[in-house]
């Protein structure tokens, strides 16, 4: 939704759908070859594209989301994702409003320094074993 380009969506979304459908077909072929009739029985009870929500609450009953585990196990992904989203939001503001929408250079430097410092701290804590998921 940030790109603001119909051409991008007209090319990108069909490409992603085709790529995803191709991956699913290859995976299903592999599983059918490996598991045969057992996989066919599984397919008879599980939707391919749309999940069945009945029984979902029972499946997750007693589970809790562990943010600490996300931070420890996926800190690279988490930091890069958040930085990319902030960057895309700034780019979107720049595209729609112009240079006046951008923060000052000092703000960018302070924010970047803080973000890299936080990343380095989490990495050091993980590598030292002081935090564990």
Is it the case that residue 1 has pLDDT exceeding 60? no
Q: What burial letters (b/e) apply to 87-111, b meaning 16+ CB within 10 Å?
A: eeeeeeeeeeeeeeeeeeeeeeeee
Q: Nearest Cα to 1, choosing from 96, 111, 108, 115?
A: 96
Q: Considering the chain, what is the average pLDDT of its residues?
A: 88
pLDDT single digits (tens) 23-40: 999 999 999 999 999 999
pLDDT single digits (tens) 78-115: 899 999 999 999 888 888 888 888 899 999 999 999 99
Q: Find out whether 4 and 96 touch, Cβ atoms under 8 Å.
A: yes
Sorted by sequence, the CB contacts under 8 Å of residue 55 that are 6+ apart come out as: none
Give the pTM: 0.51
**Per-residue pLDDT at 127:** 86
């Amino acid at each position: 939704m940030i790109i603001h380009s119909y051409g991008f969506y007209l090319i990108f979304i069909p490409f992603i759908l085709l790529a995803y459908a191709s991956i699913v077909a290859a995976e299903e072929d592999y599983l059918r070859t490996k598991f045969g009739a057992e996989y066919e029985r599984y397919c008879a009870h599980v939707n391919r594209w749309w999940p069945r929500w009945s029984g979902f609450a029972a499946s997750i009953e007693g589970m809790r989301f562990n943010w600490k585990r996300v931070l420890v196990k996926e800190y690279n992904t988490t930091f890069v994702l958040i930085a990319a989203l902030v960057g895309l939001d700034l780019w979107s503001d720049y595209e729609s409003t112009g240079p006046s929408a951008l923060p000052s250079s000092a703000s960018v430097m302070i924010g970047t320094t803080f973000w890299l410092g936080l990343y380095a701290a989490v990495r050091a804590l993980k590598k030292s074993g002081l935090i564990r998921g």
